[in-house]
Amino acid sequence: MVAGRDEFRLPPRIHFLRESLKEEPSLQIYDQLYVTFLFIDDLEGAYGCVGAAIGAIWASGRDFRLYELWMCRADFLLRRIREVSSLAVASLLGYMALAELTGQGNLDLAVMPYTVQQHWAEKSESVSLRLLHASTAAFCSFWSGDLTNAEFLLSENLALSELLEASSLSTLLFHSCLGLCRVIKGESSEGLAMLAGVVKHGAMARFPLSITLHLYTNYLYGLCLEGDLVMIQEVADFIMDKTILPCNYYHLACMHFCLAIAALRLGTPRKALLHAEAALQRGRMSNSQLIAPIAALIRGQALADLEENAQAMDHFNRWLPRWQDRGFTLFASTAFLELAMIHVRLGNRPLAAGYFERAGAVLPKGESLLALYRGRKFIEKIERGLYAPLPPGAVSPAPVQGPPIRIQMLGGFRVTINGQEVYDRMWKGRRSKELLWAIIALGGTKVSQEKLALLLWPDSDGDRALNNLKMALSRLRKVATPGLEEGTTWLAVKHKRVSLVSALCRVDSLAFVQAMKRPGKENCRELQQVLCSYRDEFLPDQEEWWIVDCRKKLRALFVRGALQLAGNGTGDKDVVLALLEQACHADPLHETVYASLMEQYMEAGYPVYALNIFRRAEKVISAQTGRQPGPKLHALARKAKKIIS
């Protein structure tokens, strides 16, 4: 609604306060007020106006693409940071973090303004802002798997919540976050009592609907983890009643997400799947990218409980790079645990052990495993399946189909022989591994012995280096001997050239190269399948020059394939976007990849996300090269801005 003539006779700040007190403030009026504040050089008013607009967009829960304009304005205002109070800066940074989190669904991006906000909140000596910072930053730390930091933030600021200077809003938001974290950690009775105390507090009647819904959603989240059916239904009905008519898609999505957790905990996975998919749908309708990663985990867990194993594994494997790229480390760790459990059920201990190990490896050092929405018994069940002895009379799992030796080079080194992993102690030192890596890096077949000797023993003379190579080849052959039939040779030497026997060995990196060179990969479905097999970089933890060289070649092959798939225009949109994001991560200076990703988002109707890709490209390219992105990216950014406006 456009402001009336009488309203504009009010001083701008009074007009701003009057609008902010409405249940549904008008973005159009905020827009007019923002221009007015800049015109009269009232920067404090402009700061407040941008924060209020971001808050109004979040409260409506309808279209989070609207954040983009106000985030651009916030970036502009922060250039004059020294001309306003610390309070104004801290408040605006908090709203910017809210927009990054709920709009982009990226914890890493949200943490940056929260980190800066902490400094300005302390500088302003505002107890309320410090509490708000602690509660939201703790949530981000928790989801990123850094439980120690989350607990530190909450315990450090607990005393502040008891001070009279703290507003009731900041205190209740802090206690709601603290209660929920305690429930998730297993301190159920104390956590639920805290959450219930928040929603029953007398100050709730004075809060805007959006804050009320947020606090009730946290309460529902805690209840769903414990499975109190009566209270779950009561709170869900309250949220539904407040959100269904205003079409508050974001809070509806949060409600369905919570109900999916409850259904999963109560052993009704089909119901959990339906609620998870409803959450994903409402999340798309609100244009919030936060809902998708949190609801995707529940969807995968529901599929696993329905024993839709192939579908569940595919779902988790597609989402794992997205969770890790966006900072949702705890979700990635939980997904690895889910994959471990699936393979335990299938009787494949080696694969299960690998996933179980990766679940711990992705977490920050010192953090314990936590299976979200499952509980400690879930982890104990995996451990029993991994380490319990086979019952009397039981036979070992049948050998896997295909070549008995499987060598993984993409995303890390791993070797299995007939399904049994070759552990570090079996390699008898690093040199055998390096020899195998070198053979694979040089193509895996007909590799010159002289080249291998020069590569691995560059400081030795020719004869000594060749003698070292012969001994290393002998040791390498023995690594696989116990798992193969007597007399089987998996490593062939002929005419002074070394080859892996293809009938016995499958190497993921070599298979990827062969598939990319195979005729007919113009077929979108086949190309998409091949690209999805490129899990990660070639031996990402190793930095020998010949490994780095091979890594660059494979990376370039993957990036070209991702661009080809995007250019074909017939691939699965979600998969294409995920592959292009992976290509961006692999080659962060490749402007054609950024351009393709921006085009894909605009074709899908998300110009805001396209503009965010440009901002990311601008930041990375400027930091690493000292220059600005090229004209094509700037042209696409202008196009995205035009669509938004």
Q: Mean pLDDT in runs of 10 for the chain (645 residues)? A: 54 91 90 94 95 92 91 92 91 89 82 72 86 85 85 88 89 91 81 92 86 86 75 82 77 87 86 92 91 93 92 88 86 93 84 83 85 83 75 46 83 82 75 92 93 90 88 86 69 91 90 82 73 84 91 94 85 79 87 93 84 88 90 93 83
- 8 A C-beta contact, residue 565 and residue 524: yes
Q: Is residue 544 located within the same domain as residue 624?
A: yes
Q: Is residue 429 located within the same domain as residue 503?
A: yes
Fill in the DSSP letter of residue 104. Answer: I
Task: With respect to residue 576, please indicate whether it lies within any of the assigned structural domains.
Answer: yes
Q: Is residue 441 located within the same domain as residue 485?
A: yes
Please name the amino acid found at residue 469: L
Domain that holds residue 542: 526-644
User: What pLDDT score was predicted for residue 41?
Assistant: 93
Q: What CATH number does the domain containing 624 carry?
A: 1.25.40.10
Q: Is residue 458 located within the same domain as residue 537?
A: no
Phi-psi sector, 520: left (phi>0), alpha (psi -120 to 50), beta: left
Q: Which two tokens stand for residue 329?
A: 């480390």
Task: With respect to residue 23, please indicate whether it lies within any of the assigned structural domains.
Answer: no
CB-based contacts of 15, cutoff 8 Å, min separation 6: 3, 7, 8, 29, 33
Task: With respect to residue 441, please indicate whether it lies within any of the assigned structural domains.
Answer: yes
Sign of CA dihedral 136, 138, 140, 143: negative
Nearest-angstrom CA–CA distance, 130 and 136: 10
Nearest-angstrom CA–CA distance, 444 and 398: 28
Sign of CA dihedral 579, 582, 586, 589: positive
Q: Is residue 504 located within the same domain as residue 573?
A: no
Q: Which two tokens stand for residue 81?
A: 């940071």
CB atoms within 10 A of CB 603: 12
Q: Is residue 554 located within the same domain as residue 638?
A: yes
Beta-strand (E) ranges in 394-450?
405-408, 414-417, 420-421, 447-448
Q: In 533-590, which residue ranges form alpha helices assigned H by DSSP?
A: 545-568, 573-586
Tell me which residue has tokens 């306060």: 17
Nearest-angstrom CA–CA distance, 411 and 177: 36
Kindly report the CA angle at 57 between 56 and 59, in degrees rounded to 5? 60
Q: Is residue 532 located within the same domain as residue 502?
A: no
Half-sphere exposure of 236 (CA within 13 A, CB side): 23
Helix axes 329-345, 349-361, angle to 10 degrees: 170
Task: With respect to residue 542, please indicate whether it lies within any of the assigned structural domains.
Answer: yes
Nearest-angstrom CA–CA distance, 551 and 556: 9
Q: Is residue 531 located within the same domain as residue 624?
A: yes
Task: With respect to residue 603, please indicate whether it lies within any of the assigned structural domains.
Answer: yes
Q: What CATH number does the domain containing 446 carry?
A: 1.10.10.10
Nearest-angstrom CA–CA distance, 107 and 325: 9
What Rg do the C-alpha atoms of the chain give, in angstroms?
A: 28
Fill in the DSSP letter of residue 390. Answer: P
- Looking at 482, 508, 534, the residue that finishes a domain is 508
Nearest-angstrom CA–CA distance, 379 and 336: 11
**Structural domain total, the chain:** 2
User: What pLDDT score was predicted for residue 517?
Assistant: 83
- 8 A C-beta contact, residue 435 and residue 472: yes
Element (H, E) at 539: none
Task: With respect to residue 201, please indicate whether it lies within any of the assigned structural domains.
Answer: no
Nearest-CA neighbor of 54 among 40, 71, 41, 78? 71
Name beta bridge partners: 494: 497
Nearest-angstrom CA–CA distance, 508 and 351: 15
Burial class (CB in 10 A: 0-12, 13-18, 19+), 310: exposed
Q: Is residue 640 located within the same domain as residue 535?
A: yes
Burial class (CB in 10 A: 0-12, 13-18, 19+), 515: middle
Give the β-pairing of 505-507 and 447-448.
unpaired
Task: With respect to residue 198, please indicate whether it lies within any of the assigned structural domains.
Answer: no
Name beta bridge partners: 505: 405
Burial class (CB in 10 A: 0-12, 13-18, 19+), 567: exposed
Sign of CA dihedral 439, 443, 445, 448: negative
Q: Hey, what's the torsion of the CAs at 603, 604, 605, 607, to 10 degrees?
A: -70
Tell me which residue has tokens 């299976």: 371
Q: Is residue 579 located within the same domain as residue 612?
A: yes
Per-residue burial over 152-179, b if 16 or more Cβ lie within 10 Å, else e, is ebbeebeebbeeeebeebbbbbbbbbbb
Fill in the DSSP letter of residue 326. Answer: H
- Looking at 508, 537, 563, the residue that finishes a domain is 508
- Looking at 476, 508, 540, the residue that finishes a domain is 508
CB-based contacts of 89, cutoff 8 Å, min separation 6: 47, 78, 81, 120, 124
Q: Is residue 567 located within the same domain as residue 621?
A: yes
What pTM was estimated for this model as a whole? 0.62
Q: Which two tokens stand for residue 590?
A: 């490749």
Q: Is residue 543 located within the same domain as residue 611?
A: yes
User: What pLDDT score was predicted for residue 237?
Assistant: 83
Burial class (CB in 10 A: 0-12, 13-18, 19+), 401: exposed
3-state SS assignment for residue 160: helix
Element (H, E) at 500: strand 497-500
CA-based end-to-end distance of the chain: 18
- 8 A C-beta contact, residue 343 and residue 310: no
- 8 A C-beta contact, residue 420 and residue 461: no
Nearest-angstrom CA–CA distance, 144 and 151: 13
Task: With respect to residue 243, please indicate whether it lies within any of the assigned structural domains.
Answer: no
Kindly report the CA angle at 422 between 416 and 424, in degrees rounded to 5? 145
